[in-house]
Amino acid sequence: MAEHLKTGWPQRVERQQDVIDTVSRILSEVEHEGGPAIRRWSAQLDRWEPESFVVSADRIKAAAETVDEELAGQLEFARSQVEQFARAQRATLTDLEVETMPGVVLGHRHLPVSKVGSYSPGGRYPLIASSIMTVTVPKVAGVDTVVAVAPPRDAQGIYGPQLYTMDLAGADVILCLGGVQAFAALAFGIEDVPPVDLVVGAGNAYVAEAKRQLFGTVGIDLLAGPTEVAVIADESADARLVAADLLGQAEHGPNSPALLVTTSREFGTAVIAEVDRWLDGDWPTKEVAGVAWREHGTVVVCESREEAVQVSDAYAAEHLEVQTADDDWYAANLRNYGSLFIGPEATVAFSDKSIGTNHVLPTARAARYTGGLWVGKFLKTVTYQRLTADGARTIAPSTAAIADAELMHGHALTARLRNP
C-alpha cells in the first residue's frame, strides 16, 4: 500500500465566493455598458486608461526595438517549433466522405472558427511563451482573426518582449487589457474589435472564473488552475535532477503542487533532502518555490510500478515526468496526464517554452477527461449528408418508425413524404 512521506497536494480546488461575485459583476457591467465599464475597471484594477486599448503599430515597432537579436532568434526558434508541430497535428485531421449505402453519402469537414481571443498572463511573470502557444496555433488552424491580449506591465503598456512575441506569432489585433475585463472585452467586443468566438489562455483565479462564467457566450479552451508537476522516478534516477524539476514548476506560484511518486523509499527520502539543499542554497526563486513545496509538495512511495501508475493516474497531473529504468513501460500504461515527459532529458521547461507541444494543459484532475490545447481545438468538426431519392426511400421507414415511437409525428411525416 502506498506510503506518503510528505503530503500537500490539494485534493480539491475551491471556488471562492468573493471571486465569483467580483467576476460576475465585471462581466455584467461590461455586457450592459460596453467600453465605459471596461475603461472603469481597467483604471481601477490596473491603473490603465489609455486613449485606445488597441495597441498601435508604432508601439509594436517600439517594443521590437527592446528585444535584442539573440532573444529574437530564440523566440523565432520557439515559434517555428510550435508551428511545425501544430501543422503536423493538423495534417492528421482529414475530411471524410463515405457512401454508407447506395444513395446515402455522409461526411465531415474540419472548419476553423472565425475569431479567437488569446490571453497571455502578465502577473508575477510576463509569460512570453504563452503568446506563441495561443496565437501561432490558431493561425495554423486557419482562424481568420486572432485578437491577442495581455495586461499592462508598466506605463508603456504590455511588456516589450511579450508584445513583440504576440506580433511575431501572427496576432491580427493586440489589446492591452488585463484579467476579467480583458475576457469581457473579447467576449462582448471593444472599440472596433468585434466579439470573438473562442477564448484561450491561462491566468489567475479571476481569469479562470471569467472563462467559466463566459462559457456559452464564447467557447473556452479549458479551466486551468495552479500549474502542477508530478514525477515518477525510481532509484535509477538522479535525485538532485528530480528535485530541481519539482522546484522548477513550483516557482509558478506558492499554490503550485509538486508530486513525486517512487517505488523506493530511500529515493523518496533522498529527493526530499535534495529539495531542501536547493532551497537552503542558491535556488533562484526560493521565496515562491519554497512556499509551494512546503505547503503543496507530496512524496508517495509505492510497492510496485503498477501501484505507481494507479497513484499517478488518480492525481492526473498537468505535467508528468517519468525517470525510471522502465520508462517505456510507464509510457505505455499511464493514461491520466496533461503532457508526458519521458526520460531524464525531457524536462517540463522545454515544453513550457519552446519544444513545440502546447503548454496550455488541464489541471485539477481534468486530465482524466480532456487533453490540452492543440490545433484541433480551433476546428469545428461538422457533418453533412447527401441523398438520392433511392437513398431517402431506404432511410425513411426506420426514421418514421422511431419518430412515431417517440410521439414526434411531424418528424415521421417529413420522412414519409420522401417515401411515397
Which residues are marked as active site?
318-319
Give the whole-angstrom CA distance, residue 171 versus residue 147. 6
Per the DSSP assignment, residues forming a β-bridge with 386 are 105
**Cell numbers describing residue 174:** 493586440
Q: Is the distance from CB of 248 to CB of 220 less than 8 angstroms?
A: no
Phi/psi class of residue 161: alpha, beta or left (left: φ > 0; alpha: ψ in -120 to 50)? alpha
Residue 382: CB atoms within 10 A of its CB come to 10
Of 187, 192, 44, 60, nearest to 131 (Cα)? Answer: 60
Q: What are phi and psi of 109, to 5 degrees?
A: -130, 150
Of 371, 347, 373, nearest to 358 (Cα)? Answer: 373
Residue 396: CB atoms within 10 A of its CB come to 19
Q: Is the distance from CB of 254 to CB of 288 less than 8 angstroms?
A: yes
Q: Is the distance from CB of 366 to CB of 223 less than 8 angstroms?
A: yes
**Helix axes of 160-169 and 57-64: crossing angle, nearest 10 degrees:** 110
Q: Is the distance from CB of 420 to CB of 413 less than 8 angstroms?
A: no
Residue 109: exposed, middle, or buried by beta-carbon count in 10 A (0-12, 13-18, 19+)? middle
- Cell 471524410 belongs to residue: 96
Give the whole-angstrom CA distance, residue 265 versus residue 364. 26
* Maximum C-alpha span of the chain: 85
